[in-house]
Amino acid sequence: MTSMTPSVRKLALTAHVASSVGWLGAVAGFLALAVEGLACHDERIVRAAYLSMDLMTWSVIVPLCFASLITGIVQSLGTPWGLLRHYWVLVKLAFTALATLVLLVHTRPIGYVAVVAAMTSPSAAGLGDLQRQLVRDAALALVVLLATTALSVYKPQGLTAHGWRRRCESRAT
């Protein structure tokens, strides 16, 4: 499927870049709130941080995550890059799929900390380990998303076996 017209391709590319970079920025904001929630001693700020993190997860991060994944797949299938032909596209897809899975798994603890924060101090409720886990996971997500952004910009060379076969076929025809 490489039948996108230039205008549709640019529209799809714009949607993909906007959703991917938006996801990266939202995770950076999430990390800042997670650090503040862990380090701050003002209970009101801690509560506000965790309630904001829950809201941000469902209203910004999850939608952008799926938008990035879907627009990325559409973009790759609609251009000569393909989904499985180049290692950089394949690695990016794997990272995005992994980040999506990890995000969905972590929506439950985020919601739990937010519920606790709505009623009492998370640290007083013995959630210190969970608070630290949210910081670590957000930091890892940021590293993974920075890596995918770098892959998109540098596009390091390397054809997969599938891509190599497709190229040989197209040359033969």
Partner 1 sequence: MADDLPRRGPGGDTHLGPPPAPRWVKQLAVVALVLGVLFALLHVTGRSFGRHMQVHGGEVQGPVPAGAGQ
Q: Interface residues with partner 1 (CB under 8 A)?
A: 87, 91, 108-109, 112, 115-116, 118-121, 124-127, 129-130, 132-133, 136-137, 140, 143, 147, 156-161, 164-165, 167
User: Can you say whether the dihedral through the CA atoms of 85, 89, 91, 94 is positive or negative?
Assistant: negative
Residues in Cβ contact with 1 at an 8 Å cutoff, skipping those fewer than 6 apart: 77, 78
Give me the least distance between CB of 51 and partner 1, in Å please: 11
Burial class (CB in 10 A: 0-12, 13-18, 19+), 28: middle
Give me the least distance between CB of 129 and partner 1, in Å please: 4
Select 74 or 137, whichever has its Cβ closest to partner 1: 137
Chain length of the chain: 173
Select 59 or 120, whichever has its Cβ closest to partner 1: 120
Select 47 or 74, whichever has its Cβ closest to partner 1: 47
* Residue type, position 152, single letter: S
Select 43 or 60, whichever has its Cβ closest to partner 1: 43
Give me the least distance between CB of 6 and partner 1, in Å please: 24
CB-facing half-sphere around the CA of 102: CA atoms within 13 A: 18
